[in-house]
Structure 1
Amino acid sequence: MTATAAHVEASGPPATPGDLMTGRERLRLVLVLGSLIAIGPLTIDMYLPALPAITADFGTAEAAVQLTLTGTLAGLALGQLLIGPFSDAVGRRVPLLAGLVLHVVASALCVVAPNIGVLGVLRVLQGLGTAAASVVAMAVVRDLFSGTAFAKIFSRLMLVMGAAPVLAPTLGSAVLRWTDWRGVFIALAVFGIVLVTLAVFKLPETLPVHRRRSGGVRGTARVYRSLLRDRTFVGLVLVAGLAMAALFAYVSGSSFVFQEEYGLDEQQFGIVFGAGAVGLIGGSQLNVRLLRRYAPQRILVSALVVGSLAGFALLAFAATGLGGLPAVLVSLWVVLTASGLAMPNAPALALSRHGEAAGTAAALLGAVQFGIGAILAPLVGVLGNGSVGMGLVIAAGMVAALTVLHLVVRPTHLSPAPTH
């Protein structure tokens, strides 16, 4: 054994590319990837203050307008399943740039949508384009980091991502001061053009040729089959998806709850929605500190317990009217803070098990997250777009995530599989 080999063996697992990055390089990476991922929350959230206006403009039902949000989530889910394996085969940059261009085109066409049906189809295309940014960013982090380092970087990434839902409704409200809801999609198209430029010049390829996976449809099917046979991975993916569903229930119903039930105007709604996103950001940054002392699975369990209790409190306050709007807002803030703790750790634990297929694993993770969100978010509208319906779906999502974690994942026996 050479001295170098002996040193590597003594010092633990080989360093990942991310371990060799300087602090400044890591910061630059987080800012670039965070900006790219921000296109997702902006696409989902920026038009929320305009949902009542879109309903009136097209003379349609609230549930039909909420389906445009469902269409975006469905596009995100489907797009990730397609883009993940593609990025494992050809690298990260080509799928990212193609997706961003599709998003720009779809956003521009939303500006001239003549009816709610066309707008819904274009929102699906927006979701497909946005999926590339979500998958590639997750895969890039997994290309460079693993395990606890992944969870820490992803928590930092959520700080940047968190600015998008904080700013999105406020930006949407600001746009609505000067124009109608179609102006929101002009802003999204412009932001997409900026991101294409950023991706071209600031994000190098992170998947070397020798690590790329090819094999066509059969090869892709084999990879998905391998992932689905990993009970722990599947359980963690479901946990992440159910926790995300609780968040999307809030996103889907909040504009109607706060503007129509509690009488807030568009600007006030933007402030309230942003305050909730601050809780999400705060939880994700607290997670970085907690990871210095506790294992990711322990934090995940605690976060889901707190989130479930806060979900029940939200439902109780909404149903009884006790405490009014402040009680609803405080319980929502606790749920979102718990989500900020849970959301970095479930993906980190899941993706650490399959570093050899990071793009495909990230795609399945993202598809389940947005797919469950697309299924459950419309339930808020079906239940009447009130605070009770929103509270019921949020509480159910958190409790279901906690149940799956204990029955399927079994966190007390959880340990990441060897990474490659």
Structure 2
Amino acid sequence: MDQAHTRFPLPVLVGILAVGAFTTAVNVTLLSPLLPHIAADFSLSDAAAGQLGTLTAIFAALTAIVLTPFIDRYSRRILLQIEAVLLCLATLLSVVAPTFTVLAVSRALAGIGGAIIFGVCLATAGDLFTDPRRRNQAIGIIGTAATLGTILGLPVLTLVADVTSWRWAIAVVVPLTVILFAGAFGLPRRAATPPGTARRSWLGGYRMVFANPTTVALLAMMVTLAATWFAWLLYFGAFAGTVAGVGAGLLAVLFLVGGGAEIIGNNLGPLLLQRFPARPLALITVLVAGLNLVAIGTIPTESWILFPFMVIGSLTSVLLFVFICILQLDSLPEGRGAVMALQSAGFEVGGALGLSGFGLALVLTGAYPAALRLVGVVTLLILAPITYYACRPTPARELDPAPVTP
């Protein structure tokens, strides 16, 4: 896109999109350090309070699926601003919720409000840059912002909750939504879609996506990746404490190291795709990820071994995520918004499947190492074949974006 077609310089627009990714990450993860406070306030168990996260994920996935046909028919600016307003209102309702029922409703609304922010940010990056290298760099920056939302957001939320209350901690999301809403005014009024792209019926939006075999395969790859990623990451703390006897301090360091590996992966992924073919690159990454999981579930687990496991697991997971995002944007340029919305839904669905599947594996095997080995086997036997098909070479599509007016 020509710089003259935007109100703000492109680096500023990428910064606005990064704010959207940061906000999404904080909204998705904010319950993690706040559950004990919420449970105590409403006299509930941690397990019962934890269903708030499930509600958020379910409503986010459903919203992304329902909105898929409309993402490319309306302005990215308007979509981001509507989402920002909904998320802001939902957050304010969470802050003042007098009962747990009201809080549950507010977190469901937060799922709706944050459902497509990250996907729209990625699609907008595809609109703004006609040069694939600059677009992929922007994707790396947006992904880094999402990682920082977890690395920086969770400690801040924990501190605010300890000093004040969980309500003020949740309120941290409000100024982020205000910044996103205001910054979105600098984005183009409409999506930069190739000429000749006609408005489609509601069902036509789904047909457009599911008629493309590569896009569908990449969506399946994202669901499977999310399942394996969530499975090992969200149970990592319990595994480290139960099997390796890791305390809270060392566990925090491990997560910090993992976050650093994710930041590296977000920015390394685009560079690797510029230099190497996608299929062998992604397959090698899947192979390393799977073997890493099998190894940690097989060799005797000492605390120091958890550091290379965390680095390799975080790095390979984020690399695969970045590869999928970039390949998705290239797979269906005329429907990149719809594709990114379904990808967001797929990530939520995959995460839910991974958590439930790992829990079942833990019940059946009775041991974390055996469950982790199973996740590694799933990565090698299921994710690898999907990756082989999804990342096959396809003819390059020439894009000539229509002018975009601010």
Query: Structure 2 length as normaliser, TM-score?
Result: 0.83
Alpha-carbon spacing, 1:244–1:20, altered in 2? closer, same or farther (3 Å): farther
- Deviation at 1:99? 0.8
Q: 1:391 aligns with which of 372, 376, 379?
A: 372
| Runs of at least 5 residues in structure 2 that lack an aligned partner in the other structure | 401-406
**Further displaced range: 221-230 or 288-297:** 288-297
Q: In the alignment, residue 260 of structure 2 is paired with which amino acid?
A: V
Q: 2:343 aligns with which of 343, 365, 372?
A: 365
Q: Does the CA-based 8 Å contact 2:69-2:204 persist in structure 1?
A: no
1:89-133 deviation per Cα after TM superposition (whole angstroms, max 9, x unaligned): 221111211111111111122224455554343222212111231
Provide the rounded CA distance (Å) in 2 between the counterparts of 1:390 and 1:189.
39
Residue 160, structure 1, aligned to residue 145, structure 2: yes
Alpha-carbon spacing, 1:123–1:335, altered in 2? closer, same or farther (3 Å): same
Q: Does the CA-based 8 Å contact 1:76-1:128 persist in structure 2?
A: yes
- The residue number in structure 2 matching 1:310 is 292
Q: In the alignment, residue 398 of structure 1 is paired with which amino acid?
A: T
- The residue number in structure 1 matching 2:111 is 127
- The residue number in structure 2 matching 1:280 is 262
- The residue number in structure 1 matching 2:355 is 377
CA root-mean-square deviation: 3.3
Q: Does the CA-based 8 Å contact 2:69-2:338 persist in structure 1?
A: yes
- Deviation at 1:86? 2.5
- The residue number in structure 1 matching 2:157 is 172
Residue 40, structure 1, aligned to residue 6, structure 2: no
1:260-281 deviation per Cα after TM superposition (whole angstroms, max 9, x unaligned): 885644x765543232111111
- Where does 1:101-120 land on structure 2 (aligned, <5 Å)? 101-114=85-98, 116-120=100-104
- Where does 1:2-401 land on structure 2 (aligned, <5 Å)? 17=1, 25-114=9-98, 116-145=100-129, 148-149=132-133, 150-200=135-185, 202-207=186-191, 213-215=198-200, 219-250=201-232, 252-254=234-236, 256=238, 262=245, 264-265=247-248, 269-316=251-298, 322-380=300-358, 383=362, 387-388=368-369, 391=372, 395=376, 398-399=379-380, 400-401=382-383
Alpha-carbon spacing, 1:403–1:98, altered in 2? closer, same or farther (3 Å): same
1:228-267 deviation per Cα after TM superposition (whole angstroms, max 9, x unaligned): 12222111111122222333335543555567885644x7
Aligned residues: 392
Provide the rounded CA distance (Å) in 2 between the counterparts of 1:125 and 1:101.
11
- Percent identical across equivalent pairs? 22
- Deviation at 1:138? 1.8
**Further displaced range: 32-41 or 287-296:** 287-296
Alpha-carbon spacing, 1:389–1:323, altered in 2? closer, same or farther (3 Å): closer
| Runs of at least 5 residues in structure 1 that lack an aligned partner in the other structure | 1-16
Provide the rounded CA distance (Å) in 1 between the counterparts of 2:61 and 2:335.
18
Provide the rounded CA distance (Å) in 2 between the counterparts of 1:146 and 1:245.
32
Q: Does the CA-based 8 Å contact 2:127-2:192 persist in structure 1?
A: no
- Deviation at 1:396? 5.8
Would you identify which runs of 4 or more consecutive aligned residues in structure 1 move more than 6 Å?
A: 18-22, 209-212
Q: In the alignment, residue 180 of structure 1 is paired with which amino acid?
A: S
Alpha-carbon spacing, 1:373–1:83, altered in 2? closer, same or farther (3 Å): same
Q: In the alignment, residue 119 of structure 2 is paired with which amino acid?
A: V
Provide the rounded CA distance (Å) in 2 between the counterparts of 1:256 and 1:59.
24
Provide the rounded CA distance (Å) in 1 between the counterparts of 2:242 and 2:99.
23
Q: Does the CA-based 8 Å contact 1:84-1:363 persist in structure 2?
A: yes
Alpha-carbon spacing, 1:223–1:84, altered in 2? closer, same or farther (3 Å): closer
Alpha-carbon spacing, 1:67–1:260, altered in 2? closer, same or farther (3 Å): farther
Q: Does the CA-based 8 Å contact 2:90-2:106 persist in structure 1?
A: yes
Provide the rounded CA distance (Å) in 1 between the counterparts of 2:28 and 2:146.
13
Q: Does the CA-based 8 Å contact 2:273-2:323 persist in structure 1?
A: no
1:346-390 deviation per Cα after TM superposition (whole angstroms, max 9, x unaligned): 122122121112211211222112222133234455647985587
- Deviation at 1:31? 1.6
Alpha-carbon spacing, 1:273–1:185, altered in 2? closer, same or farther (3 Å): same
Q: Does the CA-based 8 Å contact 1:51-1:255 persist in structure 2?
A: no
Q: In the alignment, residue 111 of structure 1 is paired with which amino acid?
A: V
- Deviation at 1:417? 5.3
Q: In the alignment, residue 395 of structure 1 is paired with which amino acid?
A: G
> Secondary structure at 2:106's aligned position in 1?
helix
Provide the rounded CA distance (Å) in 1 between the counterparts of 2:298 and 2:159.
34
Q: Does the CA-based 8 Å contact 2:24-2:146 persist in structure 1?
A: no
Alpha-carbon spacing, 1:386–1:72, altered in 2? closer, same or farther (3 Å): farther
Provide the rounded CA distance (Å) in 1 between the counterparts of 2:181 and 2:216.
33
Provide the rounded CA distance (Å) in 1 between the counterparts of 2:281 and 2:56.
31
Q: Does the CA-based 8 Å contact 1:91-1:212 persist in structure 2?
A: no
Alpha-carbon spacing, 1:70–1:387, altered in 2? closer, same or farther (3 Å): farther
Q: Does the CA-based 8 Å contact 2:295-2:373 persist in structure 1?
A: no
Alpha-carbon spacing, 1:146–1:128, altered in 2? closer, same or farther (3 Å): farther
Provide the rounded CA distance (Å) in 2 between the counterparts of 1:413 and 1:58.
54
**Further displaced range: 112-121 or 225-234:** 112-121
